[in-house]
């Protein structure tokens, strides 16, 4: 995907989201094959980065893709991009299987759920593009902040693990990530 062409990136993103919707609507095998072709090798790369050997990564991706088929109806492109939705499924599978823990998630049907005040018109319009804005915002981060942020996600490392791998004091890792986070939040808030 050419990052210098936001229109192309947006079209690609919409096409992948449409694949998930087609699976939900009529169990579309062609759409699934396309989604698989795009994401399975990337999810495998992610799982290998987080420490799985190739065989285990392959197995986890297959299980994650089965979940993608089953859970397609819960995908909502206004909430997340296809890439993000698949990331969360692979991440949760990794936690369940590798760490033998259960991933606690917010349940949208939870009677205890506190809902946000209804969004204004501008807000409702903006949600579909949050991921594109966020991508732009991350590109504007100073290199040392963006690096750590990506390491946290690529490798699923905790702050202290990043500090160890990078040979940085824990305080430095924490403050850089905090700066990155604050800045991203500020940029996202400005774009509402």
Partner 1 sequence: MVQFHPPDELLLGYAAGSLSEPWSVLVATHLTLCPDCRRATADLEEIGGLAIEDLAPVAMSPTALSSVMAAVAGASYAEGVQDAPPAFPFLDLAVGDPPLPRPLATYLNRAGTPHAWRTLLPGVQEAALPAHAASGRPSLMRIRPGYPVPQHTHVGSEAIILLAGGFSDGLGDYRRGDVSFADGRHEHRPVAHRDAVCLCFIVTDAPVRFTGVIGRLLNVFNRS
- Report, in angstroms and rounded to the nearest whole number, the Rg of the chain calculated over CA atoms: 18
Smallest distance, Å, CB 18 to partner 1? 16
**Of 109 and 121, CB closest to partner 1:** 109
Q: Using CB under 8 A, pick the residue from 5, 6, 79, 164 that binds partner 1.
A: 79
Looking at residue 3, what DSSP letter applies? Answer: T
**Pairwise CA distance, residues 183 & 133, whole Å:** 13
| 163 contributes a contact to partner 1 by CB under 8 A | no
Q: Which of 2, 4, 26, 112 binds partner 1 (CB under 8 A)?
A: 112
Which stretches does DSSP call E strand in the chain? none
Residues 84, 133: Cα–Cα separation, whole Å: 14
Backbone angles phi, psi at 175, to 5 degrees: -70, -35
Structure-block tokens of residue 74: 């819960």
> Does 18 sit near partner 1 (CB under 8 A)?
no
Identify residues 124-143 at the interface with partner 1 (CB under 8 A): 130-131, 134-135, 138
**Quick one: tokens of 54?**
């190739």
Residues 80-109 interacting with partner 1 (rule: CB under 8 A) = 80-88, 90-92, 94-95, 99, 101-107, 109
Min CB(49)–partner 1 separation in Å: 7
15 part of the interface to partner 1, by CB under 8 A:
no
Smaller CB distance to partner 1: residue 36 or 121? 36
3-state DSSP assignment of residue 65: helix
Asked whether position 186 contacts partner 1 by CB under 8 A, the answer is: no
What secondary structure letter does DSSP report for 172? H
What is the separation of C-alpha 11 from the centre of its chain, rounded to a whole number of angstroms? 18
Is residue 45 near partner 1 by the rule CB under 8 A?
yes
Q: Does 4 bind partner 1 (CB under 8 A)?
A: no
């Amino acid at each position: 995907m050419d990052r210098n062409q936001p229109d192309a990136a947006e079209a690609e993103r919409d096409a992948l989201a449409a694949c998930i919707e087609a699976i939900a609507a009529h169990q579309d095998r062609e759409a699934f094959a396309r989604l698989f072709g795009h994401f399975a090798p990337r999810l495998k790369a992610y799982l290998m980065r987080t420490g799985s050997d190739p065989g285990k990564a392959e197995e986890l991706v297959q299980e994650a893709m089965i979940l993608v088929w089953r859970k397609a109806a819960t995908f909502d492109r206004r909430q997340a991009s296809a890439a993000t939705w698949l990331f969360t499924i692979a991440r949760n599978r990794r936690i369940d299987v590798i760490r033998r823990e259960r991933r606690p998630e917010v349940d949208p049907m939870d009677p205890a759920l506190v809902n946000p005040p209804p969004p204004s018109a501008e807000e409702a319009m903006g949600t579909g593009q949050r991921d594109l804005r966020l991508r732009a915002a991350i590109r504007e981060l100073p290199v040392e902040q963006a690096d750590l942020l990506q390491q946290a996600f690529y490798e699923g490392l905790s702050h202290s693990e990043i500090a160890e791998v990078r040979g940085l004091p824990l305080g430095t890792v924490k403050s850089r990530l905090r700066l990155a986070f604050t800045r991203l939040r500020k940029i996202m808030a400005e774009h509402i």
